[in-house]
């Protein structure tokens, strides 16, 4: 790989990021380098969004296809003028309602934004993250920062500095370690350039919260098997967020039927000599008492599930399991984003369970 560097990991106090550290990290960004940093969603891999060579390094480090556009991060509303020259009406009020926060807006792009950031599109994705370290970095850098999630392409997104290091050691100049991220799944992507405002990716802002503000809102997740240049959110490939283990993702309203199917599968895999992992909400553990498996508990509800999802997938991979079984949470609140990431991790193969049996038809 062309970009090979010594990676420096720096601990940063989340509530009071030290001025000297942030000045140094801002200097690295201005000098065309790469800085990984925590946001409220996941860790980002940042570069000066206005410098095409710096942006090219992001693609190299992640081994990311060039047709997958990158989100631009800002820390104040004035920076929008630099990024877009045509703010659709009502969008500033919308941004002021949800920023700083886990909402990414797709807007018409200005000439200042390099084509590599937008993968040649005439739109640009922008957000203002709600995390003291991300905001301090943006202030110190003084330029908008382009940042995808700081994982290797197709790996689960990083929610800790250790995840970033595991994927990108030697490919990023600085990792700012601010502890685990809060939300755990990426931002909600909202396209406001289309006739009807459309969610392209479920994420940290729940659909219900956006719909309360935008009643006509549409949700149009894309599940693509391969990169299609014309797709609305080309990064939305299946086989995104995938662990090495094979995923068995279950969905259905009939608790008994779902857990029966999961137990049967776990047993059959163990009998074949496979190490089985289970990702579960705390209360689900009672259903797996008789099963030999590594169980990672993700908490009590879908908000906790979101916070622990990617770390759980990575932990089970590290534990060396060959299969991961999980039940999709209800698609409300952050459950919708968790469902979306599980579908992708399973490359679209969702096992729909009813009292009549299991249907592996997919989404």
Contacting positions for ligand TXA (CB under 6 A) = 39, 41-42, 44, 68-71, 102, 104, 106, 118, 121, 123-125, 129, 147-149, 186-187, 189, 200, 232-236
In the complex, the smallest distance separating the C-beta of residue 180 from ligand TXA, rounded to whole angstroms, is: 14
CB under 5 to 8 A by kind: which of Mg ion, ligand TXA, none does 44 bind?
A: ligand TXA
Q: Residue 68 binds what, of Mg ion, ligand TXA, none (CB under 5 to 8 Å, by partner type)?
A: ligand TXA
Residue 236 interacting entry, from Mg ion, ligand TXA, none, C-beta within 5 to 8 Å by type: ligand TXA
Question: C-beta of 149: minimal distance to Mg ion in Å?
Answer: 3
Query: What is the side-by-side order of every strand in the sheet holding 323-327?
Result: 294-297, 276-280, 323-327, 246-251, 350-354, 357-359
Report which residue's Cβ sits closest to ligand TXA: 235
Cβ-based nearer residue to ligand TXA, 71 or 298:
71
DSSP one-letter string for 41-106: SSEEEEEETT-HHHHHHHHHHHT--TTS---EE-SSGGGHHHH-S---TTHHHHHHHH-SSSEEEE
Classify residue 355 as left (phi > 0), alpha (psi -120 to 50) or beta.
alpha
Nearer to ligand TXA by Cβ, of 51 and 118: the residue is: 118
CB atoms within 10 A of CB 357: 9
Q: How far is the CB of 355 from ligand TXA (least distance, A)?
A: 38
Residue recorded with tokens 């309203």: 253
Instruction: Give the one entry of Mg ion, ligand TXA, none that residue 245 binds, where binding means its C-beta sits below a cut-off of 5 to 8 angstroms depending on kind.
Output: none
Per the rule left: phi > 0, alpha: psi between -120 and 50, beta: everything else, 198 is beta
Name the binder of 147 from ligand TXA, Mg ion, none, CB < 5-8 A by kind: ligand TXA
Task: Output the smallest distance, CB 160 to Mg ion, in A.
Answer: 15
In Å, what is the CA distance from 61 to each residue of 5, 54, 64, 174, 184? 10, 11, 8, 13, 22
**What minimum distance in Å lies between the beta carbon of 102 and Mg ion?**
13
Smallest separation (angstroms) from ligand TXA to the CB of 329 = 19
Which does residue 69 touch among ligand TXA, Mg ion, none (CB within 5 to 8 A, set by kind)? ligand TXA
Residues that bind Mg ion (CB under 5 A): 149
What would the two tokens of residue 135 be?
Answer: 């905001």
Whether residue 230 contacts residue 327, with contact meaning beta carbons closer than 8 Å, is answered with no
CB of 157 or CB of 302, closer to ligand TXA: 157
- Yes or no: say if 53 and 65 are a contact pair by the CB < 8 Å rule: no
What does the block give as tokens for 94? 């919308």
Q: Which is nearer to Mg ion, 226 or 289 (by Cβ)? A: 226
């Amino acid at each position: 790989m062309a970009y090979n560097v010594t990676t420096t990991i720096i601990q940063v106090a989340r509530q009071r990021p030290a001025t000297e550290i942030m000045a140094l990290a801002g200097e690295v960004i201005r000098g065309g380098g790469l800085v990984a940093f925590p946001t409220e969603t996941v860790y980002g891999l940042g570069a000066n969004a206005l410098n095409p060579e710096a942006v090219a390094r992001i693609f190299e480090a992640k081994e990311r296809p060039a047709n997958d556009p990158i989100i631009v991060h800002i820390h104040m509303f004035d920076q929008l003028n630099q990024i877009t020259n045509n703010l659709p009406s009502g969008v500033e009020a919308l941004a002021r309602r949800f920023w700083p926060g886990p909402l990414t807006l797709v807007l018409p792009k200005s000439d200042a934004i390099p084509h590599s950031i937008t993968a040649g599109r005439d739109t640009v994705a922008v957000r203002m993250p709600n995390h003291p370290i991300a905001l301090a970095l943006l202030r110190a850098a003084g330029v908008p920062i382009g940042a995808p999630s700081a994982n290797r392409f197709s790996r689960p997104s990083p929610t800790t500095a250790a995840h970033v290091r595991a994927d990108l050691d030697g490919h990023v100049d600085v990792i700012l370690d601010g502890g685990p991220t809060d939300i755990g799944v990426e931002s909600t992507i909202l396209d406001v350039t289309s006739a009807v405002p459309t969610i392209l990716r479920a994420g940290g802002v729940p659909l219900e919260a956006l719909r309360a503000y935008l009643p006509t809102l549409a949700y149009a997740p894309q599940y693509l098997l391969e990169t299609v240049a014309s797709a609305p959110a080309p990064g939305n490939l299946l086989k995104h967020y995938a662990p090495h283990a094979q995923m068995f993702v279950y969905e259905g309203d009939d608790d008994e039927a779902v857990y029966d199917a999961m137990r049967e599968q776990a047993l059959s895999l163990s009998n074949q000599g496979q190490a089985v992992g289970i990702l579960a909400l705390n209360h689900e553990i009672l259903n797996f008492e008789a099963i030999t498996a590594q169980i990672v508990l993700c908490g009590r509800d879908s908000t906790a599930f979101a916070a622990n999802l990617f770390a759980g997938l990575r932990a089970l991979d590290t534990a060396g399991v060959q299969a991961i079984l999980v039940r999709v949470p209800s698609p409300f609140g952050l459950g919708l984003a968790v469902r979306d990431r599980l579908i992708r991790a399973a490359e679209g193969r969702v096992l729909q369970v009813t009292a009549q049996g299991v249907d592996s038809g997919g989404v």
